[in-house]
Amino acid sequence: MKKLAYILAPAVLLSSCSKSFLDLTPKSEVTTGSFYKTSADAITAVNGCYTVNQSTNLYGADVEVLMEERGDNVLDLDISAGSGTNYKIAHFIEDPSNALLYNAWVQLYNGVFLCNSLLDQIGPIPMDSTLKNRVRGEAQFLRALHYFNLVRLWGPVPLVTHVISSSEALQLKRDSVATIYQQIEADLTFAAANLPASYTGADVGRVTAGAANGLLGKVYLYEKKYSQAATALQAVINAGVYSLQANIATVFTTKYNSEILYAVRYASGITGQDHAFWFTDNNNLPTIDSSIVKAYGAGDLRKTLTDAVKPTNLSFTGPRKYIDAPDASNNSGMDFPVLRYADVLLMEAEALNEQGYNPTAFTYLNQVRQRAGLAAETAASLPDQNTFRQEVYLERRLELPFECDRWFDLVRTGNAITAIAADAGKEVVTGTPIVIDAHQFVYPIPASELNIIHNTANFPQNPGY
């Protein structure tokens, strides 16, 4: 039952960071049974919910492999590293025993558990009602993000919204994608209504109403609920809290700038709070797919962010977007941008256009293009709904590479099979195009989870694996 401790059953210990949200010091451990007594306990608990995303098994490393190497922006040509664990993900030849799948699954459900534990116990705590609902909103946002990642990676998964026992865990079934999305919508709707527009001081970096509406808009877009998506995204735009950075490079070098709705926080020089550099070359093999570099047109200021550059005094290279000064451990302290304002603008343009060719959508598309040094699109250059749609898809690729959107964009827009077959970069090792089919839009359920539940009727493997 050891594996269930992290995934679905009550944990003995709950990790949390210190009471200051930005004090990224080594984590302490407290027992859940005696923990939730005061408002300070609730704050410490929700701080612990944030730290899950920093894990190497999530945004620290593995998420970038599972979400980005699958697409056509990133290569993994190193067959030997880690017995080919990453290579197999990138080349669609992974199996249910792949360690990255298990590690991400465990950590995502660990995050769900921490949020559930807080939400189950916060009710009786004597504290200001506005603060209590804010803390609830933070936990529900983070739980929604975990489930959004789970459902995009694996499709139907167990929906657990309260702490459950080991015996209950063994009876879990894989809930439908529609059921998971319904819970995500509910969590984000509550969060948007109860989180503040912004924070000051040490609380900067907590999730806001804008982050909740932005993620809700993205969820609706994935569900093809375009009217609801447009409404949620317009709320972010109308709030006046967020704006594009004048120079796109500062989006990544300046922490929690005006463009960031939600980022996973890291800190250089603090063990466990920094991370290895992302998307670096392996054994001198390139990791930046030539197809993304070639996709940029003349004068596009974003292209330089895809350049392969070396961190100071280190031998490997990575995309300029994620290169900062290495700390004493030769690691990075850059935050990972989960959701930013440029993404919101492009999603709003897409949501409006999908409801019918709409001149207003040009406003949002062109804000992103003009920041990149490109001319505005017009009705003459994009004369109908489909040409506008294709331009939005292209702009999303050019604006958001290495930010864990590309693969999911290919899947949700029906372009994954064609794009992977056309990606010459992925053919370097095999020499032949990679041909995939629809079952590979999601990953196999980790074999260890199937073995624990051992019920193929309620907990089957994904088809094709």
Please tell me the predicted confidence (pLDDT) of residue 429.
Answer: 64
Q: What is the residue-averaged pLDDT of the chain?
A: 91
Partners of 60 in the beta sheet? Answer: none
Residue 245 Cα distances to 236, 341, 399, angstroms: 16, 9, 13
Partners of 285 in the beta sheet? Answer: 282
Q: pLDDT tens digits, residue range 306-315?
A: 999 999 999 9
Q: What percentage of residues in the chain have a pLDDT greater than 90?
A: 84
Q: How far apart are CA 189 and CA 184, in angstroms?
A: 8
Query: Could you count the other beta carbons within 10 Å of the beta carbon of residue 238?
Result: 9
Check pLDDT > 70 for residue 73: yes
Is the Cβ–Cβ distance between 350 and 399 less than 8 Å? no
Q: How far apart are CA 87 and CA 318, in angstroms?
A: 17
- Residue 283: band (very low, low, confident or very high) from pLDDT cuts 50, 70, 90: low
Main-chain phi, psi angles of 46, to 5 degrees = -70, -30
CA-based torsion, 444, 449, 454, 455: positive or negative: negative
Q: How far apart are CA 107 and CA 115, in angstroms?
A: 12
pTM for the model stands at: 0.93
Distance of CA 106 to the CA centre of its chain: 16
Alpha carbons within 13 A on the beta-carbon side of 203: 15
Alpha carbons within 13 A on the beta-carbon side of 373: 12
Query: Could you count the other beta carbons within 10 Å of the beta carbon of residue 432?
Result: 7
Question: Is residue 421 packed enough to be buried (19+ CB in 10 Å), middle (13-18) or exposed (0-12)?
Answer: middle
Residue 66: closest CA among 362, 212, 278: 278
- Torsion angle of C-alpha atoms 41, 46, 51, 53, degrees rounded to 10: 160
Q: pLDDT tens digits, residue range 267-276?
A: 999 888 999 9
In the block, tokens 């994608």 appear at: 177
Is the Cβ–Cβ distance between 460 and 109 less than 8 Å? no
Check pLDDT > 60 for residue 33: no
Non-local CB neighbours of 352 within 8 Å, separated by 6+ positions: 226, 230, 358, 360, 361, 364
Please tell me the predicted confidence (pLDDT) of residue 7.
Answer: 43
Q: How far apart are CA 188 and CA 175, in angstroms?
A: 19
Check pLDDT > 70 for residue 255: yes
180 vs 7 pLDDT, higher one: 180
- Of 151-165, 281-295, 344-358, give the lowest mean pLDDT range: 281-295
160 vs 28 pLDDT, higher one: 160
Please tell me the predicted confidence (pLDDT) of residue 431.
Answer: 73
Answer CATH for 1-195+404-465 from 1.10.287.3510, 1.25.40.390, 3.40.50.1820, 3.30.70.260: 1.25.40.390
Please tell me the predicted confidence (pLDDT) of residue 34.
Answer: 52
**Taking residues 421-440, what's their average pLDDT?**
84
